């Protein structure tokens, strides 16, 4: 059963980013060198297992998942840079959402934390792609797009949600990309020397 949980601010944080962001970041870069986490079927199974997703028998999904990731990354990059979304990317997400068949269920009505659930028919669960598309769609509907950012290191491409007080976070990791960019800026300033102002 796939739980459709309303994405509230309290559900997000540095240690609990939405699934779609982890999926998009499964391809990132280290100084411009691609770092692929979904390299083959074994890597996909390990990635799924680490996130408590169905990991068995997903070998045939690898190509479709990489294609979905391209559309998801395009959406993330456009949201992070304030550009309008492209219809083709949204249609790709919608097509995945329309894949599984099943029924909606209302669960936990007596618990104080009820949730709407989707119970897929056997063999029609939509796989990992459905979970990712659902996660991205919930984020789009939640309207917290201003928190979505890309690492300021141009050779990285890592996407994250900014939970800093003033939303001023710039790096995916201060000890890595942040320090690396600061060193580069320092060296650039030393190479260029002091800026001389001409007389007016």
The model's pLDDT over 140-156, given as tens digits with 9 standing for 90+, comes to 988 788 889 999 888 88
Residue 123 φ/ψ region, left for φ over 0, alpha for ψ in the -120 to 50 degree band, beta for the rest: left
Residue 154 lies in a domain: no
Rounded CA separation 157/22 (Å): 13
Residue 136 lies in a domain: yes
DSSP alpha helix (H) spans, 41-198: 41-50, 62-80, 87-97, 127-142, 179-192
For 54, the domain range is 16-144
29 within a domain of the structure (yes/no): yes
CATH number at residue 88: 1.10.3300.10
Count of the separate structural domains present in the chain: 1
In DSSP terms, 118 is beta-bridged to 2, 104
Q: Is the Cβ–Cβ distance between 69 and 39 less than 8 Å?
A: no
Structure tokens that stand for 122 in this block? 């056997």
- Does residue 108 fall inside a structural domain? yes
Give the three-state DSSP class for 161: strand
Q: pLDDT value at position 122?
A: 78
Provide the whole-model pTM. Answer: 0.79
Nearest by Cα to 54 from 127, 104, 115:
127
Task: Specify the DSSP element, H or E, that contains 33.
Answer: strand 33-36
Q: Tokens representing 174?
A: 């201060």
Note the pLDDT of residue 118: 79
Residue 192: inside a domain:
no
**What per-residue confidence (pLDDT) applies to 182?**
53
Q: Which residues of the chain have pLDDT under 70?
A: 1-15, 109, 111, 125, 174-176, 178-200
The string of pLDDT tens digits covering residues 123-135 is 776 788 988 998 8
Closest C-alpha to 64, from 15, 18, 99, 25: 99
């Amino acid at each position: 059963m796939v739980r459709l949980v309303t994405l509230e601010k309290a559900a997000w944080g540095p240690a609990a980013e939405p699934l779609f962001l982890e999926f998009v970041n499964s391809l990132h870069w280290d100084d411009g060198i691609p770092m692929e986490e979904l390299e083959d079927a074994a890597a996909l199974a390990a990635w799924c297992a680490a996130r408590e997703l169905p990991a068995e028998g997903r070998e045939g999904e690898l190509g479709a998942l990489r294609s979905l990731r391209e559309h998801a990354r395009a959406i993330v990059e456009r949201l992070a840079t304030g550009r309008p979304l492209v219809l083709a990317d949204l249609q790709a997400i919608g097509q995945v959402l329309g894949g599984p068949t099943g029924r909606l269920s209302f669960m936990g009505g007596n618990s104080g934390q009820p949730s709407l659930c989707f119970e897929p028919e056997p063999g029609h669960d939509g796989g990992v792609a459905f979970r990712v598309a659902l996660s991205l769609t919930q984020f789009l509907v939640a309207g917290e797009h201003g928190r979505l950012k890309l690492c300021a290191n141009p050779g990285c491409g890592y996407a994250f949600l900014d939970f800093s007080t003033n939303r001023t976070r710039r790096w995916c990791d201060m000890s890595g990309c942040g320090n690396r960019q600061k060193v580069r800026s320092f060296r650039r300033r030393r190479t260029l020397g002091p800026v001389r102002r001409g007389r007016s």
